């Protein structure tokens, strides 16, 4: 989006990447968990392989997602209040989720290397990771949809009712 500052120059700003990349993290980590859950019940080895590949792809994507989130965070000016509390919590949970994801992916790699299926304990811990991701996503959604954080107000309003 282009903006015209006080001196009249137009500054080009690229669309923020964080909201785009976060959906890849959600899809890859969630799919990995789903594949492992299905593998527990079906014992289909291709599900186990898919679970490993999706979590392996999820780690580097999430690293970039976290970096773009921190960059986006630097550009957000919020007055003290409930929105800023949500933003602080979202900012704190990001590295917590990333560190947990790296630990779970490392654990998942040990199953991949040994050629064994993940344990039920691993699947439960991965489920907790998905729960943490869900909370993180909910808070991020609240920031955007309730408080309008990082939303440019230059969008075309859609009609609510037919004329």
For residue range 49-87, list pLDDT tens digits in order.
999 999 999 999 999 999 988 888 877 777 777 888 888
Per-residue CA distances from 161 to 124, 149, 152, 154, 157 (Å): 46, 27, 24, 21, 12
Burial class (CB in 10 A: 0-12, 13-18, 19+), 104: buried
Count of CB atoms within 10 A of residue 74's CB? 8
pLDDT at 119 over 60: yes
Report the predicted TM-score, pTM, of the whole model to 2 decimal places. Answer: 0.81
Q: How confident is the model at residue 161 (pLDDT cuts 50, 70, 90)?
A: low
Enter the DSSP assignment of 16. Answer: P
Mean pLDDT of the chain: 85
Over residues 16-38, mean pLDDT: 93
Helix (H) or strand (E) segment spanning residue 61: helix 45-74
């Amino acid at each position: 989006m282009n903006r015209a500052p006080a001196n009249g120059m137009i500054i080009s700003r690229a669309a923020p990447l964080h909201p785009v990349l976060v959906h890849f993290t959600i899809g890859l980590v969630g799919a990995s968990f789903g594949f492992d859950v299905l593998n527990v019940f079906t014992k289909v080895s291709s599900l186990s392989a898919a679970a490993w590949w999706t979590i392996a792809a999820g780690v580097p994507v999430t690293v970039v997602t976290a970096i773009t989130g921190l960059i986006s965070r630097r550009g957000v000016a919020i007055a003290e209040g409930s929105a800023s509390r949500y933003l602080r919590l979202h900012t704190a949970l990001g590295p917590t989720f990333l560190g947990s994801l790296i630990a779970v992916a490392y654990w998942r790699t040990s199953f991949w290397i040994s050629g064994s299926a993940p344990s039920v304990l691993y699947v439960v811990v991965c489920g907790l990771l998905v729960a943490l991701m869900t909370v993180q996503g909910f808070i991020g959604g609240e920031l955007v949809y309730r408080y309008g954080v990082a939303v440019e107000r230059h969008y075309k309003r859609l009609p609510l009712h037919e004329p």
